[in-house]
Every structure is written in structure tokens, then in C-alpha cells.
Amino acid sequence: MSHTVGDAREAIAGSAGVLVCTGAGMSAESGVPTFRGTGGLWRNFRPEELATRAAFDRDPLLVWEWYNWRRRVVLECDPHSGHFTIARAQAAGRARLVTQNVDGLHERALEEVGGSGGADRTLALHGSLFRLRCSRCDYSRRDEESIDTTSPGSLPECPECRHLLRPGVVWYGETLDQEVLGKAFAWATNASACLVVGTSAVVEPAASIPRLVLQNGGAVVEVNPERTPLSELATVVVHGTAAELVPEILGEEP
């Protein structure tokens, strides 16, 4: 069943705050390819073939080439009106954000709206494209520079233990940061309204977050041009895109 923007606004309006959950579709209109859409392939590899520890151990150069390309693509993209609407709601204390995205566009939108109080209202479940971390020890750092992928020997090394640095993201089969995940589950348990934008809702444990909201009596509004496994459970489903619908649903003006 599909609903109207009015239904969505109403489901969220009665709530003191809203939990916003976003996936790759949130950034599609900024120009960032999604994972499972048509633009998700790089050199004919599926993300599941590259976003794993086994792929990195087998061929770190190939995996770094993919991440280098993605970092370059993202650095040329900008947040859109949907990111800014969410950022303003965070800065005003009206929204908390849990994102699966590693592109940093939410964080950039929040900075641009001057939302210093909003940073503790953002959880990035799957890490960041712009963080490097050691494949062996706890070392990590922020980094936006291009990675030298000329040869395996040119890849970045850990200054502490000399093992390879890897992208600071969560790959398939890896556990999420337990503190971050625990906080996300706590926010979901206490949320009376949740807006889910641009996720295929298949990757766990992120996909469980809106289900937890529903189990605790909260309303879930889904925004997506396509149906997902969440669609049959959600309170309100609005078909359309993030840049078009998020400002209409979450914006201050009706």
C-alpha cells in the first residue's frame, strides 16, 4: 500500500523527536552510486565480492583501487536538500540520525548548517570512507588523500605496527562497533517515530532498527522509489526520492 506525504507528516508530527535511518538511496541524487542498484558495479565486481576481509587479504591492491575510486566520486558530490533538512532537524534537537552510509554527506550537511550540537545525534553504523584503520592493531586516522595504488608496496602502512592500513568501514561478516550499535538500538527502542530513507532494508543488523521501533509501538515511515521487505511492515510507505520527499515530510513548512 502506498500513502501520501500528508500521512507521513502526520505519523511524525505527533512525536517529540524522530529517528531517521538512511541508506545508500539517500545519497543517490548527490551522485553517489547505490550498492544494489544499476550503478552499483565497479569493473563488473559486485560489492559483496570486494567489501570483505577475505577480499582485502587476497588482493589489497584491488580493494584499495575500488575504495580510492569511491572516495574520489564522493569528494566530488555535495549533500542535497534532503541531507540539509535532516541536518537542520538534528541541530534543532528534533531528530537523531542512524546512517549506514560511509560517504560523510550527512556530516558535511550538519557542519554547513552549523549544527555543532547535532554531532552526538549521528551514528554511522558502517564507519567512514575517510577513515583509515590498521588491519591488525587499533590504530586509525582520518584521511581524505588519494591512496597510492601503483603497487602492493605503495599501499599505506600502519605507523605503529607496519601492517597494511585498510578502509575504516565495516565489511560483510564483521561485527559493528558494539557501542555504536547499542546506542542505535536504544534510540530505536525509545523512538515513537522513525523515518527510513533509501535503504533496501536487507543488510543486518541495520535492517532490524526500524523493526525494533515498530515492536515498541512507534510509527515507521518508509521513503523509497521501490518496495522493500520493510514496506509490508511500515506504518506509512511513500514512493519517491529522498531529495524530493524528505524536505516535504520532515521540513518545518508543510
What amino acid positions are annotated as catalytic residues? 126
- In the set 21, 102, 195, 213, which binds ligand BJW (CB under 6 A)? 102
Nearest to 100 by CA among 240, 33, 198, 211: 198
Footprint on residues 171-200 left by ligand BJW (CB under 6 A): 171-175, 197-200
**Helix, strand, coil shares of the chain as percentages rounded to 5?**
40, 20, 40
Q: Determine the number of helices (DSSP H) and then strands (DSSP E) in the chain.
A: 9, 9
**Per CB under 5 A, 139 contacts Zn ion:** yes
Footprint on residues 47-66 left by ligand BJW (CB under 6 A): 47, 51
Rounded CA-CA distance 254/4 in Å is: 13
Question: Taking CB within 5 to 8 Å according to partner kind, which of ligand BJW, Zn ion, none is near residue 200?
Answer: ligand BJW
Cβ 227 to ligand BJW, closest distance in Å?
9
Cβ 10 to Zn ion, closest distance in Å?
51
Rounded CA-CA distance 32/27 in Å is: 6
Nearest to 97 by CA among 112, 115, 77: 115
Residues at the contact surface with Zn ion, assessed by CB under 5 A: 134, 136-137, 139, 158, 160-161
Residues at the contact surface with ligand BJW, assessed by CB under 6 A: 23-25, 28-29, 34-37, 47, 51, 100, 102, 126, 169-175, 197-200, 202-205, 224-226, 228, 241-242
